[in-house]
Amino acid sequence: EDWRRHKADEEANSVPVKVLRNAKWGTAPSYDIKVGELVLLEKDCLVPADVVLLHSTNTDSVTYIETSNLDGEANLKLRHPPAGFCSNFDLQGVQQVASFQAVVECENPNQKLYQFDGWMRTDVRSLSFTRNSFFGTSS
């Protein structure tokens, strides 16, 4: 049983992910993602780590995620960028994305499965976000 779990973890942690490094989108295995790196998630991909949604290409800025591997529920969950953030973030301009800097603070791990609070500070503003802007390995 332990061996099977080890092999499943190894496979899950080796999924290729698009990561922004040196102002270019490249591919890296999910185990190589560092805290603070920007990742590009595409339709039907697995979420490789806990992430804060900064932008969605959907016209309403909403992203839908499936969490059946976490909570057994097959219905899609809605996620959206922090209020007031998405409209100023141009995903097409890789130089703008590469120069983006923010400090993200999150609450400490706890037992609250359906609540999450975090804060993001940039040089021009401070935004709060909830579970609706956060998803990943514990959504």
Give the per-residue pLDDT at 138. Answer: 46
For residue 125, CA distances in Å to 25, 56, 81, 93, 103 come to 26, 20, 15, 21, 11
Report phi then psi at 91, rounded to 5: -65, -25
pLDDT in tens, 13-64: 788 989 999 989 999 998 999 988 988 888 888 787 888 888 888 878 888 8
124-130's contacts with Cβ under 8 Å and 24+ in sequence apart are 125/84, 127/82, 127/83, 127/84, 127/85, 128/82, 129/52, 129/82
Neighbours of 77 (CB within 10 A): 15
Three-class DSSP labels, 6-54: HHHHHHHCCCEEEEEECCEEEEEEHHHCCCCCCEECCCCCCCCCCEECC
Give the per-residue pLDDT at 92. Answer: 56
- Residue count of the chain, please give it: 139
For residue 84, CA distances in Å to 29, 79, 88, 127, 130 come to 32, 14, 8, 8, 14
Give the per-residue pLDDT at 10. Answer: 83
| Residue 139 binned pLDDT confidence (cut-offs 50, 70, 90) | very low
pLDDT in tens, 58-115: 878 888 887 766 666 777 888 888 876 655 555 557 777 788 888 988 888 878 767 7
